[in-house]
């Protein structure tokens, strides 16, 4: 893993956005995998700025959202698809029909997962996968478990993750869905390049285990050690245990 540590999260965001803009220049029709969450917000804002000043061209790109809560459609205020659209897609001229998301409110969730996985494969797989990391080492909603399904699947959320997501539901953890849909670790590992972003001291332990620990489904991010091109962008608190 290539690890880059930045003094502030603003510097981290600028560098990561520049990295994405470079990837777009090298391959204008790149397929992006995109996370929601607090961590990428600064990166998306910087990408919007780069796009508005002609330094990042998303017009030929495709994007897939990484995960979504079960029971949540794309119009819901807590939707990750909506979050990514509002923070990035609406500002960078990526044609909306090429921005894909999981429908957590689909009648048949297994069919929805299969449809999504097939759409990713039809697009040629993910070229650049941006990721955050959970305080428990999850990537996407691939929670620590004895086994990790490789492909897009339905998952039961752990209490810690539901608590960390409460802000999206007016701080009411009881309203956080108990399940989610997520791209699997196998699909993530098939991406050409993975860029993982982590900021804040509450990520330091999972970052340390991701980088130094054994590969274990109990720390899903540890599987990134098996990928050839992983770039890890950290602020100092997130890197404090390395």
Name beta bridge partners: 64: 33, 100
Q: In whole angstroms, how close is the CB of 39 to ligand GLP at the nearest point? A: 3
Q: Is 136 a catalytic residue?
A: yes
Q: Is 143 a catalytic residue?
A: yes
> Any contact of residue 134 with ligand GLP (CB under 6 A)?
yes
Q: Which is nearer to ligand GLP, 93 or 237 (CB)?
A: 237
From 67, 112, 117, 235, active-site residue: 67
Q: In whole angstroms, how close is the CB of 22 to ligand GLP at the nearest point? A: 22
Name beta bridge partners: 154: 181
> Any contact of residue 129 with ligand GLP (CB under 6 A)?
no
> Any contact of residue 141 with ligand GLP (CB under 6 A)?
yes
> Any contact of residue 69 with ligand GLP (CB under 6 A)?
no
Name beta bridge partners: 9: none
The CA distance from 131 to 82, in Å, is: 17
What is the footprint of ligand GLP within residues 167-206 (CB under 6 A)? none
Return all residues near 122 (Cβ < 8 A) that are at least 6 apart.
none
Q: In whole angstroms, how close is the CB of 44 to ligand GLP at the nearest point? A: 12
The CA distance from 218 to 107, in Å, is: 30
- Interface residue with ligand GLP, options 21, 32, 47, 66 (CB under 6 A): 66
> Any contact of residue 39 with ligand GLP (CB under 6 A)?
yes
- Interface residue with ligand GLP, options 12, 33, 35, 79 (CB under 6 A): 35
| Binding segment toward ligand GLP, per CB under 6 A, in 25-33, 34-42, 50-58, 183-191 | 34-42
Q: Which is nearer to ligand GLP, 51 or 165 (CB)?
A: 165
> Any contact of residue 130 with ligand GLP (CB under 6 A)?
no
Distance between start and end Cα atoms, the chain: 13
- Interface residue with ligand GLP, options 67, 112, 117, 143 (CB under 6 A): 67
| Binding segment toward ligand GLP, per CB under 6 A, in 1-9, 37-45, 102-110, 204-212 | 37-45
> Any contact of residue 140 with ligand GLP (CB under 6 A)?
yes
Query: Hey, which residues are catalytic here?
Result: 67, 136, 138, 143
Residues that bind ligand GLP (CB under 6 A): 35-39, 66-67, 132, 134, 140-141, 161, 165
């Amino acid at each position: 893993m290539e690890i880059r540590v930045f003094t502030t999260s603003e510097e981290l965001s600028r560098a990561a956005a520049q990295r994405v803009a470079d990837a777009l220049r090298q391959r204008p029709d790149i397929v992006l995998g995109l996370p929601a969450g607090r961590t990428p917000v600064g990166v998306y804002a910087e990408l919007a700025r780069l796009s508005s000043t002609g330094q990042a061209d998303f017009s030929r790109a495709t994007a897939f959202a990484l995960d979504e809560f079960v029971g949540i459609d794309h119009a819901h205020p807590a939707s990750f698809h909506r979050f990514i659209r509002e923070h990035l897609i609406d500002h960078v001229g990526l044609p909306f029909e090429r921005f894909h998301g999981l429908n957590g409110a689909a009648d048949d969730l297994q069919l929805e997962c299969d449809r999504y996985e097939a759409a990713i494969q039809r697009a040629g797989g993910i070229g650049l996968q941006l990721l955050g990391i959970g305080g428990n080492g999850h990537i996407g909603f691939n929670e620590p478990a004895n086994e990790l399904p490789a492909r897009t699947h339905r998952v039961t959320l752990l209490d810690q993750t539901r608590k960390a997501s409460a802000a999206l539901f007016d701080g009411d953890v009881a309203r956080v869905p108990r399940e989610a849909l997520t791209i699997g670790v196998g699909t993530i590992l098939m991406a050409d390049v993975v860029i993982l972003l982590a900021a804040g001291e509450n990520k330091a332990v999972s970052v340390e285990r991701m980088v130094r620990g054994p590969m274990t489904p109990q720390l899903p991010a540890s599987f990134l050690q098996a990928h050839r091109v992983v770039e890890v962008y950290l602020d100092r608190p997130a890197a404090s245990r390395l």
